[in-house]
Amino acid sequence: MRGFQAVLFDLDGTLFDSAPGIFACFEYTLEQFGKKADRERLRRFLGPPLRDSFAQLLPAEQVERAIEIYRARYAEVSGPLTRVYPGVPEMLTALRAAGYTVCLATSKVRYMAVRLLSEKGLADRFDYIGGSTSDASLDTKTAVMRHVLAQPCLRGRRAVMVGDRDNDMQDAADCGLPAVGALYGYGSRGELEPFSPLAMLPTVEELCGWLLRHGETGKQNRT
């Protein structure tokens, strides 16, 4: 296997433990429509695009309004309810020092991803931050990943995707990228195994070590 020169990270469940904020905002939004869902059911919506998630929870005519309510609420409450997984800042620093091009590819709307990364002091550790748009023009994870891969900083560089859910693995495959599973996130080994990821790592430290061992970078190769 040839070494990698770039890495695309998922956000929720890979870099951030954002479940408390996501759960709270789903619950709040559903309440506005007289609906309830327990957290066990909501776990499946940790990661996928909001439109896909609300389409399973509400009638089609309510989905766009639900997204507006959710995003407004998330902007108000998500910061204090979101924590960076221990070891993530050190991993990002180590990968960039080794010459990796480090990018984000998240289904979360981009302005909110940038805001959260900035609040947590991590925004400047990325070469590019990719996320969805407020409208449906860039909505699926596959579309976001393709947008990120088209950026100049990734031109000619072999990339790997890191995520914690089955949709991360599938979207990586749709983009022709190999993937690595973050088992410390919200997915399980059984969820990820059918996609044959290159590795499934149980801790941030082991993920960092794997990426460093499989990097073909060097500072002289950065663009």
For 16, phi then psi, to 5°, come to -120, 140
What is the residue whose two structure tokens read 């789903």?
26
Identical topology for domains 6-17+84-221 and 19-81: no
**Half-sphere exposure of 44 toward its Cβ, with a 13 Å CA cutoff?**
9
pLDDT of residue 219: 47
CATH topology of domain 19-81: DNA polymerase; domain 1 (1.10.150)
* Chain position carrying tokens 């409450």: 77
Q: What is the pLDDT of residue 222?
A: 47
Distance CA 177, CA 52 (A): 23
Name the stretches of the chain with pLDDT < 50. 219-223
Q: What is the pLDDT of residue 217?
A: 61
pLDDT of the residue at 15: 98
* CATH number of 6-17+84-221, picked from 3.40.50.300, 1.20.1730.10, 3.40.50.1000, 3.40.50.720: 3.40.50.1000
Report pLDDT for 223. 42
Alpha helices in the chain (DSSP H): 19-32, 39-42, 50-55, 63-81, 88-97, 110-119, 141-149, 166-174, 189-192, 204-213
Domain boundaries, the chain: 6-17+84-221, 19-81
- pLDDT score, position 221: 44
Q: What digits encode the pLDDT tens for the residues 17-48? A: 999 999 999 999 999 999 998 888 998 888 88
Tokens encoding 217: 């970078």
How many whole angstroms separate alpha carbon 65 and alpha carbon 67? 5
pLDDT digits 0-9 by tens, 48-61: 888 889 999 999 99
pLDDT at 78: 87
Sign of the alpha-carbon torsion through 39, 40, 42, 46: positive
Contacts of 172 (CB under 8 A, 6+ apart): 145, 161, 163, 178, 179
